[in-house]
Amino acid sequence: MANANPDKLKLLKSHNVRSILFSVVRSEAGKLYTGGSDFKVCEFDPDAAKPELKEIGKHESYVTSVTLAGKEVVSGGYDGKVIWWDIEKKSKVRSLDAHKKWVRNLATSPDGKYVASVADDMVCKVYEAGTGKVVHELKGHKARTPNHFPSMLFAVAFSADSKWLATADKVGHIVIWDLAKGKEHKTLESPGMYTWDGRHRLHSIGGARSVAFSHDGKQIAVGGIGKIGNIDHLDASARIEVFDVETTKTYHLFDKCKFKGLVNRLAFHPKGDWLLGAGGAGNGFFIFMDLKKKTLTKQENVKFHVHGITLADEATKLYAAGHNGLAVYEMKG
* pLDDT recorded at residue 71: 94
* pLDDT recorded at residue 317: 97
* pLDDT recorded at residue 199: 63
Enumerate residues 6+ apart whose C-beta is below 8 A from 257: 237, 238, 239, 240, 285, 287, 296, 299
pLDDT digits (tens, 9 = 90+) for 241-287: 999 999 999 999 999 999 999 999 999 999 999 999 999 998 999 99
What's the maximum distance between 2 C-alpha atoms anywhere in the chain? 56
Question: Per DSSP, which regions of 139-248 are E strands?
Answer: 153-158, 164-169, 173-178, 183-189, 194-197, 203-206, 210-213, 219-225, 238-244
Do 208 and 226 touch, CB atoms closer than 8 A?
Answer: no
At 26, the amino acid letter reads: R
pLDDT over 90 at 202, yes or no: no
- Between 2.130.10.10, 3.90.1200.10, 2.60.40.10, 3.40.50.360, what CATH number should domain 6-330 receive? 2.130.10.10
Enumerate residues 6+ apart whose C-beta is below 8 A from 128: 113, 114, 135
Enumerate residues 6+ apart whose C-beta is below 8 A from 332: 2, 3, 4, 5, 8, 316
Alpha-carbon dihedral sign for residues 93, 88, 69, 64? negative
pLDDT over 70 at 212, yes or no: yes
Do 142 and 104 touch, CB atoms closer than 8 A?
Answer: no
pLDDT over 90 at 232, yes or no: no
Length of the chain equals 333
Do 222 and 278 touch, CB atoms closer than 8 A?
Answer: no
Is residue 203 very low, low, confident or very high in pLDDT (cuts 50, 70, 90)?
low
* pLDDT recorded at residue 4: 92
What's the mean pLDDT in 162-186?
97
Question: Per DSSP, which regions of 87-162 are E strands?
Answer: 91-97, 103-108, 114-119, 124-128, 134-138, 153-158
Q: What is the pTM for the complete model shown?
A: 0.96
pLDDT over 80 at 231, yes or no: no
Q: Give the residues across from 141 on adjacent strands.
A: none
- Distance, in Å, from the CA atom of 123 to the CA atom of 143, rounded to the nearest integer, reads 9
Is residue 201 very low, low, confident or very high in pLDDT (cuts 50, 70, 90)?
low
Enumerate residues 6+ apart whose C-beta is below 8 A from 88: 71
pLDDT digits (tens, 9 = 90+) for 137-171: 999 999 999 888 889 999 999 999 999 999 999 99
* pLDDT recorded at residue 240: 98
* pLDDT recorded at residue 89: 94
pLDDT digits (tens, 9 = 90+) for 30-88: 999 999 999 999 999 999 989 999 999 999 999 999 999 999 999 999 999 999 999 99
170 closest CA partner among 219, 203, 128: 203
* Sheet order of strands, 134-138 included: 103-108, 114-119, 124-128, 134-138
* pLDDT recorded at residue 333: 79
Q: Give the residues across from 311 on adjacent strands.
A: 318
pLDDT over 80 at 135, yes or no: yes
What's the mean pLDDT in 4-15?
96
* pLDDT recorded at residue 249: 97
* pLDDT recorded at residue 236: 83
* pLDDT recorded at residue 198: 64
